[in-house]
Structure formats: C-alpha cells, structure tokens
Amino acid sequence: MSGGDAAKPSDALVFFGATGDLAYKKIFPALQRMAHRGKLDFPVIGVAKSGWTDEQLVERARDSVAKHAGLDEEAFKVLAQKLRYVDGDYNDPATLERLKAALDKEGAQRPTHYLAIPPSMFGTVVQRLKDAGCQQGARVVVEKPFGRDLESARALNEILHKVFDESAIYRIDHYLGKEAVQNILYFRFSNAFLEPIWNRNYVDNIQITMAESFGVEGRGKFYEETGVIRDVIQNHLLQVVGFLAMEPPSSHASDAIRDEQAKVLRTVRELDNTHMVRGQFRGYRDEAGVAKDSFMGTYATLKLWIDSWRWADVPFFVRAGKKLKLSVTEVIVEFKNPPQVVFKEPAFSQGNYVRFRLGPQVQIGIGARAKRPGEGMAGRPVELSVVQQQTSDEMDAYERLLGDAMAGDATLFARYDTVEAAWRIVDPVIHGPSELWKYEPGSWEPPQADKLVAAVGGWNTPQ
C-alpha cells in the first residue's frame, strides 16, 4: 500500500488519458498557467494509446492552450520542455514498465498519477501501477464521475484502497477548487458576526441555484447516463451544502475540514420523490446521443433537510439545470424577518440575507433594509456589497487542484466518506421512476418546481 508522503511534494506528474478531452480542455491550460507562475518544476509524463510521439503531444498541448487559455509563448516553452509521452495499452504490463523507465530516467521517486480516464479503467490502471512498482511513494488523482450511485462508489473506493492508502487518493471535484467556493468557508469562519445567527434560530431557508443557459453541448451520450443530479448536484452542489452547513473545523488541517464536511453530509436526510422536482428541456430528446423517449432530467430542484442541532427544520433548496434563463451559480441564505411591531409594514418580500455568487463572478452581498426617502417610515431592500471580484490573475480550479495534489494538500479533494455520504442522500431517487416535467429553453424551470419552494415565499431568483 502506498500512503503517499504528505510532507514532501511530488516530483513528477503522470497523466493517463493524455490525448483525451479532459487533458485538452483542462490539464494543459492548467499546466501552462503553472509554468507562467514558475511552479512547473517537474517532468510531466502523458500516457495514452494513440501511438503518438513526444512531439505530437507537445503539438496537442499547443492546440489546447491556444483554444482554451491563450498561448503564452514563454510559459508554453517551459511546458513543452517538461512534456514526455509514453504510449501503450493500459492493460499491457509493458506500458507501465515503459512508464517506470521514464520515471527512473527523470529520477522521480514520488510521482502523482492523474487518472483522466473513464472510471471503468481505474481498477486496471491502479493494479498495473502496483505491478510495475509505480505506486511506491505515489499519489493518485481521480476525476468525477466517482461512481454512479452509492454501491458503485463503494466499489470504486475498494478498488483504489487495494493499492493506495486513502491519504494518497485525491478525488477531484473542481468546485472545491473555485475561489468563490473557498470563500464560503473563509467568510463563515473568519467573521464573528455570522456565527451567532448561522443557525435555525435566525435562518429561514437556504437556496442554491446553479443555472446554465447552455445545453448538453455534444455530451448527449454522457448526459444520458448521468443526468443533472449525478452530473452536478451529488458532487459540486452537495459540497457547497457541506461548506454552508458544517460546524467550525478544529483547524485548517485538511482532515479537520473534511471531517466536518463528512459529518454534515451524513446528517442530510435521504431524499424521496416528494422532495424533488425533475425537468427536461424541450429539444433535449433531439440531441445527438439522446434517446427519443429519454427520461433523463436536465433540471432538478431538491428540498433537503439536515437533521442536526443547528439546522433542524431549515429547508435547503438546491436547483440546477441546463438551458435555463441565465448562467449563474448563487447561494442565498435567507434570514427570518424581524417582528413588524415598530413600523407595521406589510410583510417584506425581501428581508435580510447573505448572498454568495459563485459564478460567473465572485460576489458576496448582505441584504438589508433601509428607509425609503420621504415621508413615512417605509423601507426598501438594499444590498451591502462585501466582495466584488473578477481578477484576471485568479487561479483556475484545475491549476489550484493540480498544484495542491503535487504539494500533498488534500483539503480541497473529496474524501471517500464524503463522497459516499453524498451518494447516500440522492441514491433513493436516482434509480426509480419519478415524474419529469418539460420546460422551455430559456425559462427558469418547470412551474411545478415552484410548489416545492412556495412555503418560503418562492425563489430568490438571481439577476
């Protein structure tokens, strides 16, 4: 078993699936940015079975950064010098022997192996890594989807644990690498004024919206096997729920944060169909790779309950969908209204809240009320802006996560128990039949979803 070496940085990056989509869209651009910051000081070995040479991999990397990041000649030169290619079938021991020889040639003793390949290949690759002695002192980075339900996630964990210790396994959820998501954690635990009101006594409800105005963009086949709950809710949005709802961690240490994350997800009640509304945008069934009678949801609202001392009876609404009106991801923590005994105004439609905009911009705002100018004591909603940030130098999630994995910092990676706890929540509703409502592309959602939120006065729709 390999436990990795948390104290020492890795000295080589190996990525399986070097000629694939993920490498093209995310990994090369992240590596170029690392080079730009002077952080790319290790060899990068791509493995695939495309019959390529080192030069072809460099060309692919050049294309990738030109398309997805902008070519930065100087940084790219550094990346090109670091790139090596190992060709072969993952199931063939000779491939891994070539990899071992390439690592030895570089003098690498603590590689990070990034599995940018389908999960069905994980078992083969980790076993072959072990057979070739490439797992010694190594870490392994795996991509989502991490299973397609609780059972398959457990099976995948077992496969990985046969070769790697949990401390050496880094499961990527790129949401955790986002500046705005980390800011939830920072904002909550570095401000004294929030903690006394961050609970069921003051919070009325919490709403999380991840709206995307685009559709499945050529990923029809993938989406048919996934659907919105597996694609973005079980992983990204439940991690966000965890950050919003967790108890204060005992420190900033990676396991202290992940312990609280796992703890809170374990207290989220399992879903049933009465707490979910699913939708499918009109036109989805005409997408390439999608069945004409597809029953896959491209939209869902879930109403979650957290059975903890802090959150009992506070509904958490989570909604996500494709082809909605806007592309925006936002959290609204809505507070209870004060008693209307002084000014006797009609019930406010908008009272106090904290708003975290997670994308496309990073924003934090606090909703308050102020007097409307003029006679009488009537108010209007105002927002105090805490953060408005859109820096060009912001670290991309993949750059951040790759850097952390190389450095051995697992804080922003999903631990097996968090992943399993998140699957447990959605597992009861992802297998069986449930209603599916059509919605128009460019709308906010199927109207049936409004019923779930009616009791809290409806959605706080992002603008």
Q: What single-letter amino acid sits at 331?
A: V
**In terms of CB distance, is 359 or 367 closer to ligand BG6?**
359
**In terms of CB distance, is 232 or 300 closer to ligand BG6?**
232
- Cβ atoms 164, 135 nearer than 8 A: yes
- Cβ atoms 314, 204 nearer than 8 A: yes
Of 31, 427, 418, which is closest to residue 238 (Cα–Cα)? 418
Q: How many residues contact ligand BG6, by CB under 6 A?
A: 5
Buried-state track 106-116, b at ≥16 Cβ within 10 A, e below 16 = bebebbbbbbb
Residues 159-178 that bind ligand BG6 (CB under 6 A): 174
How far apart (Å, rounded) are the C-alpha atoms in residues 6 and 398?
A: 20
The SS3 call for residue 410 is coil
Which tokens go with 428?
Answer: 């009861």
**In terms of CB distance, is 236 or 263 closer to ligand BG6?**
236
236 is catalytic: yes
The SS3 call for residue 55 is helix
Give the one residue of 11, 143, 212, 404 binding ligand BG6; rule: CB under 6 A: 212
How far apart (Å, rounded) are the C-alpha atoms in residues 335 and 268?
A: 20
Report the residue number whose CB is nearest to ligand BG6.
231
* 313 Rama sector, left if φ>0, alpha if ψ -120 to 50, beta otherwise: left
Give the one residue of 17, 321, 359, 446 binding ligand BG6; rule: CB under 6 A: 359
The SS3 call for residue 188 is helix
Min dist CB 433 to ligand BG6, Å, is: 23
Min dist CB 63 to ligand BG6, Å, is: 21
- Does the footprint of ligand BG6 cover residue 22 (CB under 6 A)? no
Min dist CB 231 to ligand BG6, Å, is: 5
Min dist CB 54 to ligand BG6, Å, is: 30
Beta-carbon-side half-sphere exposure of residue 46 (alpha carbons within 13 Å): 30
Angle at 207 between CA 359 and CA 411, to 5 degrees: 60
**In terms of CB distance, is 212 or 259 closer to ligand BG6?**
212
Min dist CB 297 to ligand BG6, Å, is: 13
Neighbours of 344 (CB within 10 A): 8
Q: What single-letter amino acid sits at 130?
A: K
Enumerate residues 6+ apart whose C-beta is below 8 A from 374: none
| Tally of residues, the chain | 463
Active-site annotation holder among 236, 252, 275, 431 = 236
Angle at 390 between CA 386 and CA 396, to 5 degrees: 120
The SS3 call for residue 157 is helix
Min dist CB 208 to ligand BG6, Å, is: 13
Min dist CB 250 to ligand BG6, Å, is: 30
Min dist CB 451 to ligand BG6, Å, is: 26
**In terms of CB distance, is 232 or 304 closer to ligand BG6?**
232
The contact pattern for ligand BG6, residues 228-267, with x = CB under 6 A and - = no contact, is ---xx-----------------------------------
How far apart (Å, rounded) are the C-alpha atoms in residues 199 and 250?
A: 19
**In terms of CB distance, is 186 or 222 closer to ligand BG6?**
222
Neighbours of 256 (CB within 10 A): 14
CA distances from 193 to 189, 197, 361, 389 (A): 10, 8, 24, 22
Which tokens go with 240?
Answer: 């966000």
**In terms of CB distance, is 231 or 404 closer to ligand BG6?**
231
**In terms of CB distance, is 163 or 232 closer to ligand BG6?**
232
Catalytic residue numbers read 236
Q: Which residues of this protein are in contact with ligand BG6, per CB under 6 A? A: 174, 212, 231-232, 359
